[in-house]
Chains A and B, each alone.
Chain A
């Protein structure tokens, strides 16, 4: 027995010895191989090109009729890129009061003027967040040797916010004309002279869009199997057709769809997703349903420097769909007031304000709204939107008073209760939740309030969902479970009692 024990002991000792040695060797070798990895030699030449679009204001050249040498596309592209980059580095420089990047895009003498401003603003603790939203350049002159160009950029729309000691003191939109002389130096088209010729500070008024025809009786829609990922790989026209049929037969006339900013490819909109969105609208048209399209879902950066990227995104979608018969209205953003705290109320409102201008400049026939998450925020930008949308998930007892209050604040715009509903989840994570009957009672009651106040409405939502992405409500099971049970139709495809009150007869 003794010898057996000793043998076991020996074996353990030897094995642990081998393990320790193996660990040490693997550790040393990992360290050694780490120290042997250097930078990849191919990176020395910076040959890899990672051009990221940072600044994409709308830019339209006037027809080329310049004096001097005829312009070709390659040179014009190079000039345009460097010109926009020059604006971009200038905006960054004035925002940070640092001179990085300036010298690539302004000649020796021109950059002094920018440095002077930076020195002055830095001393006075002034920072400027600015962007240009529109350029309309004319090429006036291109020299015979291709080294000098003159352009006049007309109607440059500049949006600026000035801060003194980090307090915003001015927000302004200016429309200016600039004459600019460029020199080709070191392969960069650099600005040599820039002269502002003309400024207009009056804001452009948009045509008033009639909203008298609106009679929204609708529902927020996501397919049951793939909520918040409607236009992904699981996109199915068959399922959407089936659902739209249910909606139509339930005596509803409108659906609300969501376009997610990242999912749709940010500034360069994914053509495939856009096609799927268009197909969805085609199906809606077939079932005589109208669509309220909510843009910028899951987008949370309202910084001035991203304006141009956001605007290209919206422009592509709006211009593609603006003539679609199924389109009813543009909802600029879902519940932007939830970002007030984290992103700054001023930033969010300014972003919305500019985005409404952009959408209206592309599509002047469809009304625009914003999906506020509560009744208190509904009056923000009330003069800009064509109808006011708000969501209500609070106590039904208080709804009537809230509506009365809103009607006095916003006397002349239609009100749309754009999201409401009650989760019928009651279980492990929420033992005292509501039942299917509670949900039915809720919808019955709210439809009465809607009828009394003559509201338009869109309920949340058609289905109970199986699988909700974490981005929507977070990872917490009690939130997920609750969110999964807002539907009128349960996970087995059976109509819940609330379905009876999905619409007003």
Chain B
């Protein structure tokens, strides 16, 4: 008897179970997604279709990489259609959506893949100028994009091409993290490198990289001058040899060279020049007294030259001084150069005036037509005994106890 009841109970359970399941299905089925495709190519029309058995027309929320919006339904009998806006369907990445019905939210995701085509090869290259020698490099970054401005799928092949002198090379690179990149190293030579890229048959435009010579190596210098006299008038020109880097490339024009001139008194004179075709030139006026220069050039912090010695001969061996006008006018001259010609205007003559052993004034004048004259005014130089010394062209003459009256 007991067993019968148990059987009856079991039987009733089996009989009622389909109803329970069916009922569950019925509530779940009130809203159901009909469109099952979840992968689309960018730009394709996407319509989400739901079957619905109420009068509801809920909004559909959808969001992509750039923003979110709400889509209103198109009402059809027993279905609701949602046309995903074009600005969402044209961008790659994930779209997540949610149906905002009253009871329970249906949600899902759609992936938009980029088109398998290249419309533009967005190319960035830099630095635009690199150094020869093989260690320095420039970087080519390519973002191939499709016609809807989406970066192409990961692992898309991009050909990075470059030409330099006789060599033309192509390397296969692949997009990763939306971009593809290649480091392009310089060669031993300096020059211009042309770079371009290609993906899926579309080529980028041409880019130019300037390969400049590396840092200069040591060089030699020379000097040229019209004569070897210290006339304070002619100009000595210093030049460098052709300055090159260690790969024998001529350094860039405009490389700055400084010439240091040390004279016998250990004074330093400095003159500078910049290179053209590897040669820098610089000039310096001759000294006006006998001297020997030692000259050395530097490209600061990078390289230096040898030292050269230059001697300048004395031109004025002796000069005369004439006192007149109560000893108040001193005429120095004639000042004559190496061929007895009058020295060119501008030679400096210095007059030191002493009274009672103390220096009271120094007058400096430059020669004109081979002469210099000093006028000592009575208002300044009272009547008294004075000592004078006159210096020019490295020579000094002294006149003691001259009376001015």
Residues of A bordering B, CB below 8 Å: 67-69, 90, 94, 109, 113-114, 116-117, 120-121, 124, 126, 128, 130, 140-141, 143-145, 147-148, 150, 152, 160, 162, 164, 169-170, 172, 174, 176, 178-179, 181, 183, 192-199, 201
User: Once the chains bind, are B87 and A113 in contact (CB under 8 Å)?
Assistant: yes
Determine the chain A residues whose CB is within 8 A of the CB of B181 once the complex forms.
67-68, 141, 143
In the bound complex, CA of A201 to CA of B69 (Å): 16
Other-chain contact of B98, A94, A143, A179, A201 (Cβ < 8 Å): A201
Chain B nearest CB, measured from A158 CB (Å): 9
Q: Does B292 contact A (CB under 8 A)?
A: no
Q: Does B7 contact A (CB under 8 A)?
A: no
User: Once the chains bind, are B127 and A164 in contact (CB under 8 Å)?
Assistant: no
Q: List 23 A-B contacts (CB under 8 A).
A: A69-B139, A94-B67, A94-B68, A113-B66, A117-B69, A120-B87, A144-B126, A144-B137, A145-B124, A147-B126, A148-B124, A148-B141, A150-B178, A162-B70, A170-B98, A172-B61, A181-B178, A192-B143, A193-B178, A195-B93, A196-B94, A199-B94, A199-B109
User: Once the chains bind, are A193 and B151 in contact (CB under 8 Å)?
Assistant: yes
Determine the chain A residues whose CB is within 8 A of the CB of B109 once the complex forms.
199
Q: Does B96 contact A (CB under 8 A)?
A: yes
User: Once the chains bind, are A117 and B66 in contact (CB under 8 Å)?
Assistant: yes
User: Once the chains bind, are A114 and B179 in contact (CB under 8 Å)?
Assistant: no
Chain B, interface SS category: strand
Chain B nearest CB, measured from A38 CB (Å): 43
Other-chain contact of B85, A120, A192, A194, A197 (Cβ < 8 Å): A120
In the bound complex, CA of A164 to CA of B150 (Å): 30
Smallest Cβ-Cβ distance to B107: which chain A residue: A201
Chain A nearest CB, measured from B101 CB (Å): 11
Chain B nearest CB, measured from A181 CB (Å): 5
Q: What is the total number of residues of chain B having a CB less than 8 Å from a CB of chain A?
A: 39
In the bound complex, CA of A68 to CA of B66 (Å): 27
User: Once the chains bind, are A174 and B139 in contact (CB under 8 Å)?
Assistant: no
Known: A144-B139, A148-B141, A195-B151. A114 touches B65 (CB 8 A): no
Q: Does B63 contact A (CB under 8 A)?
A: yes
Known: A120-B87, A181-B143, A193-B143. A169 touches B177 (CB 8 A): no
Other-chain contact of A170, B61, B87, B127, B141 (Cβ < 8 Å): B61
In the bound complex, CA of A179 to CA of B65 (Å): 9
In the bound complex, CA of A94 to CA of B107 (Å): 22
Other-chain contact of A147, B124, B178, B183 (Cβ < 8 Å): B124
Determine the chain A residues whose CB is within 8 A of the CB of B139 once the complex forms.
68-69, 143-145
Known: A68-B139, A145-B127, A181-B179. A117 touches B67 (CB 8 A): yes
User: Once the chains bind, are B68 and A114 in contact (CB under 8 Å)?
Assistant: no
User: Once the chains bind, are A128 and B68 in contact (CB under 8 Å)?
Assistant: yes
Determine the chain B residues whose CB is within 8 A of the CB of A178 once the complex forms.
65
Q: Does B91 contact A (CB under 8 A)?
A: yes
Chain B nearest CB, measured from A128 CB (Å): 6
Determine the chain B residues whose CB is within 8 A of the CB of A147 once the complex forms.
124, 126
B63, B91, B98, B151 — which one has the most chain A CB atoms within 10 A of its CB?
B63
User: Once the chains bind, are B96 and A124 in contact (CB under 8 Å)?
Assistant: no
Determine the chain A residues whose CB is within 8 A of the CB of B67 once the complex forms.
90, 94, 113-114, 117, 121, 128
Q: Does B73 contact A (CB under 8 A)?
A: no
Chain B nearest CB, measured from A288 CB (Å): 49
Q: Does B48 contact A (CB under 8 A)?
A: no
Known: A145-B139, A181-B143. A194 touches B65 (CB 8 A): yes
Other-chain contact of A120, B69, B143, B183 (Cβ < 8 Å): B69
Determine the chain A residues whose CB is within 8 A of the CB of B94 once the complex forms.
176, 196-199
Known: A124-B72, A193-B143, A201-B98. A181 touches B151 (CB 8 A): yes
Determine the chain A residues whose CB is within 8 A of the CB of B143 once the complex forms.
181, 192-193
Chain B nearest CB, measured from A242 CB (Å): 57
Residues of B bordering A, CB below 8 Å: 59, 61, 63-70, 72, 85, 87, 91-94, 96, 98, 100, 107, 109, 124-127, 137-139, 141, 143, 149-151, 177-179, 181, 183
Chain A nearest CB, measured from B150 CB (Å): 8
Chain A nearest CB, measured from B139 CB (Å): 4
User: Once the chains bind, are B70 and A124 in contact (CB under 8 Å)?
Assistant: yes
Smallest Cβ-Cβ distance to A106: which chain B residue: B66
Chain A nearest CB, measured from B146 CB (Å): 12
In the bound complex, CA of A122 to CA of B61 (Å): 15
Chain B nearest CB, measured from A408 CB (Å): 26
Smallest Cβ-Cβ distance to A140: which chain B residue: B177
Chain A nearest CB, measured from B175 CB (Å): 11
Smallest Cβ-Cβ distance to A121: which chain B residue: B69
Smallest Cβ-Cβ distance to A181: which chain B residue: B178
In the bound complex, CA of A116 to CA of B96 (Å): 18
Determine the chain B residues whose CB is within 8 A of the CB of A201 once the complex forms.
96, 98, 107
Chain A nearest CB, measured from B58 CB (Å): 9
User: Once the chains bind, are A162 and B61 in contact (CB under 8 Å)?
Assistant: yes
Smallest Cβ-Cβ distance to A178: which chain B residue: B65
User: Once the chains bind, are A141 and B177 in contact (CB under 8 Å)?
Assistant: yes
In the bound complex, CA of A128 to CA of B141 (Å): 36
A68, A69, A145, A152 — which one has the most chain B CB atoms within 10 A of its CB?
A145
Known: A121-B67, A183-B124. 4 other contacts (CB 8 A): A116-B66, A150-B179, A170-B98, A181-B151
In the bound complex, CA of A278 to CA of B114 (Å): 55
Determine the chain A residues whose CB is within 8 A of the CB of B107 once the complex forms.
201
Determine the chain A residues whose CB is within 8 A of the CB of B69 once the complex forms.
117, 120-121, 124, 126
Determine the chain B residues whose CB is within 8 A of the CB of A172 once the complex forms.
61, 98
In the bound complex, CA of A21 to CA of B141 (Å): 78
In the bound complex, CA of A193 to CA of B138 (Å): 23
Determine the chain B residues whose CB is within 8 A of the CB of A116 once the complex forms.
66, 87
Chain A nearest CB, measured from B87 CB (Å): 4
Determine the chain A residues whose CB is within 8 A of the CB of B96 once the complex forms.
174, 199, 201
Determine the chain A residues whose CB is within 8 A of the CB of B98 once the complex forms.
170, 172, 201
Determine the chain B residues whose CB is within 8 A of the CB of A164 once the complex forms.
59, 70
Determine the chain A residues whose CB is within 8 A of the CB of B72 once the complex forms.
124
User: Once the chains bind, are A169 and B93 in contact (CB under 8 Å)?
Assistant: no
Determine the chain A residues whose CB is within 8 A of the CB of B87 once the complex forms.
113, 116-117, 120
Chain B nearest CB, measured from A122 CB (Å): 11
Smallest Cβ-Cβ distance to A125: which chain B residue: B70
Smallest Cβ-Cβ distance to A114: which chain B residue: B66
In the bound complex, CA of A6 to CA of B75 (Å): 98
Smallest Cβ-Cβ distance to A180: which chain B residue: B178
Determine the chain A residues whose CB is within 8 A of the CB of B151 once the complex forms.
181, 193, 195
User: Once the chains bind, are A169 and B66 in contact (CB under 8 Å)?
Assistant: no
